[in-house]
Structures are given as C-alpha cells and as structure tokens.
Structure 1
Amino acid sequence: MPFKKLHSDIQEKLEIQKISTPTPFQSKSIPVIKSGANLYALAPIDSGKTTTLILTTLQKLNFEPKGDSPRAMVLVENKEIALAMYDAFLKFTKNSGLRVYVGYDQLHIDVQKSEIYEGVDILISTPRTLKKLFLLNGVNTSQLQLFSLDNADFLSKSSSYDAFLTVTQSITKCQYVFYSEKTHSVLKRFKSSFMEHSKTISI
C-alpha cells in the first residue's frame, strides 16, 4: 500500500480527508516517483493525478520547511488551475509550516518576486510567470529537488514550451514528473535531454 510508506504526517492528513485506498494510478506511480526517477505519468481524468502530485511533493520535502529557495515547483497552464492547485495543497499543508506560494500572470511580478524572496518551499506557477521570475532573478533553482508539470499537454503551446525550456536550462539536477492524460509529441522531445532515462506509467 503506497500510502503506508509515506511520511507519518502525510498519512495523518490522508486520514483526516478520509482517503484510505490508493487508486490504481497511485499504486503504480507513487513508488516510482519516490524512487527518484524522472517519470511520464499518464492517466485519464479522475485517476488521482493531482493527489499523487501533492503527496509525492510533500514526501520529497520530508513534510518540513527548509531554507528560503523553492525545493519543489509545480507548473500549471493558467491562473484558475494554479489557484485550484494551491487550494488542494493547503488541505495537506495547513498548520504544517510548509510554505506554498502561487504565482500567475495577473499578479504584479515585483510583488511575486518580493514575496518569494521571503522564503518558499513549494512554488506553483504558470509558464509565463515562472519565466519572468527567472529572468528577473526572482526565483532561485539551486535547491530545487522536484519539478512537476500538471496536465503537461499545455506545453504544446509554443510560448509555454519556450518558457519551460528557459527555466530548465538553469537547473543542474532535479527530478521531473510530467502528468498528462496521454503521451504527446511535445513531451517526447525531452527524451533526448533531461528525460533520457525516464520511466513511463500509463493506465
């Protein structure tokens, strides 16, 4: 049971939310992500991808705040999804001390830059905003351990793809997990670079 092998504080949060049985996708994907492998995680809607993303992120960070720079990033398509992801994280991180921050295009970039400077463990952002933060030295990737992409099909848009590449070029070592409903040609492009030795899970 994947949940039984997660941090005890994560298990406690799962119990509060009455989540006791992993979905087939979670049973297959959580152990692979915990192993540290780069992964293409493919599954239809309502398979438990978002919860998997949250659980494995918290597990990677040992469910504790540390340092000032983001140790985990979650890239999403737009503001609405970013805010929904933030709310989903808060169900697990409230009162934990973990600092989750959400950035999006409609929020002034200087405000985001200054707030991130105060210290963030998990950064949720849209591609355009993350690129701006990076180019303005508003986000430090030196401590980054896990980079997750939610419904990564949005990378098929050239602007999102270019923004993602700009940021990844500054990352020396990091685990990448691409969540998607199905494989996409744009995702395969990374096979020749940082996803060369990645694994794929599909249900």
Structure 2
Amino acid sequence: MPFKKLHFDIKEKLSEFEITIPTLFQTKSIPAIKSGANLFCIAPKDSGKTTTLILTTMQKLKCEEVGVAARATVLVENNEKALELYEAFIKFTRHTSLRVYVCDEKQHIDLLKSEIFEGVDILISTPKTMNKLLLLEGVNTTQLKIFNIDDATFLSNKTVNADVLAITQSIHKCQFVIYSEKMNPALQRLESYFMQFARKIAIK
C-alpha cells in the first residue's frame, strides 16, 4: 500500500480527510515517484493525479522547511490553476513547517521576488512568470529536488513550451515529474531535453 510508506505527517492528513484507499493510479505512481525517477504520469481526470503530486512533493521534502531556496516547484497552465493548487497544498501542509508560495500574476514581479527571497519550500507558478523570475534572478533553482508540471497538455503551446525549456536549462540534479491526461507530441519531444530516459506510468 503506497500510503503506508509515506511520512507520518502525510498519513495523519490522509486519515483526517478519510482517504484510506489509493486509486489505481496512486498505487502505481507513488512508489515510482518515490524512487526518484523522471516520470510521465498519464491518467484520466479524477484518477488522483493532483493529490499524488501534493503527497509526493511533501514526501520528497520530508514535510519540513529547510533554508530559503525553493526545493520543489510546480508549473501550471494559468494563474487560476496556480491559486487552486495553492489552496489544495495548504490543506495538506497546514500543520507542517513547509512554506508553500504561489506566484500570483496579479502581483508585481518585484513583490514576488521579495517574498520568495524571504524563504519558500514549494513554489507554484506559470511557466511565463517562473521564466521571468529566473531572468530577473528572483528565484534560486540550485536546491530543487523535484520539478512537477500539472495537467501538462498546455505545453502544446509553443511559447509556453519554450519557457519550460528555458527554465529547465538552469536546473541540474532534479527529479522531473509530468502529469497529463494524455501523452501528446509536445510531451514526447521533451524526451530530447530534460526528460531523457524518463519512465511512463499510464492508466486508461
């Protein structure tokens, strides 16, 4: 059972939310993600992808804050999804010391920079804002342990894809996990870049 081997704080939250039985996708993906492999996680809607992303990110960071530089990042399609994912993360991280930060695109980039500088563990952003922050030296990627992309079908947009490739060029020794409902040509092309030798977990 994948849930039994998770951090105590995570298991407490799962118990609180009465989540006891993993989905088929979670049964297959959680151990693979914990192994540290780069992964394409392909599954239909409502398979438990977002919860898996949250749980495995918390597990990777051992449910505790460390230093000031982000150790996990999640890229999402737009600002609305960034805010939604932030709320989902907070439900699970509320009683841990993990610091989750969302780059709200309605805020000025200088404000985002200054708040990130104060210290974050998990950074949620759109590719556009993340790339802008990197160009302005507003985010440090040297400590990243896991880099997630949620609902990654939006990478078929060439501009967004270019932003992601620019971001990943600055990242070394990091696990990459991409979640999507379908494997499309845009995702397959990533195997030529930062997803070389990536495994695929696919549920129909």
With the shorter chain as reference, the TM-score category is: over 0.9
Partners of 1:65 and 1:185 in 2: CA distance: 37
SS of the residue 1:133 aligns to: helix
Residue type of the alignment partner of 1:123: L
Matches for 1:1-203 after TM superposition, within 5 Å: 1-203=1-203
Deviates more, 1:153-162 or 1:141-150: 153-162
Partners of 1:136 and 1:106 in 2: CA distance: 18
CA deviation profile, 1:61-103 (whole Å, cap 9, x unmatched): 0111001000000000011100110000001111311100001
CA deviation profile, 1:104-138 (whole Å, cap 9, x unmatched): 32221000000000000000001111011000000
Instruction: Give, in angstroms, the shift of residue 23 of structure 1.
Output: 0.2
Aligned length: 203
Residue type of the alignment partner of 1:25: F
SS of the residue 2:10 aligns to: helix
Structure 2, gaps ≥5 residues long:
none
Percent identity of equivalent pairs: 60
Deviates more, 1:95-104 or 1:16-25: 95-104
Contact 1:105 1:128 in 2 (8 A): no
Deviates more, 1:150-159 or 1:113-122: 150-159
* TM-score, with length taken from structure 1: 0.98
SS of the residue 1:44 aligns to: coil
Residue type of the alignment partner of 1:184: N
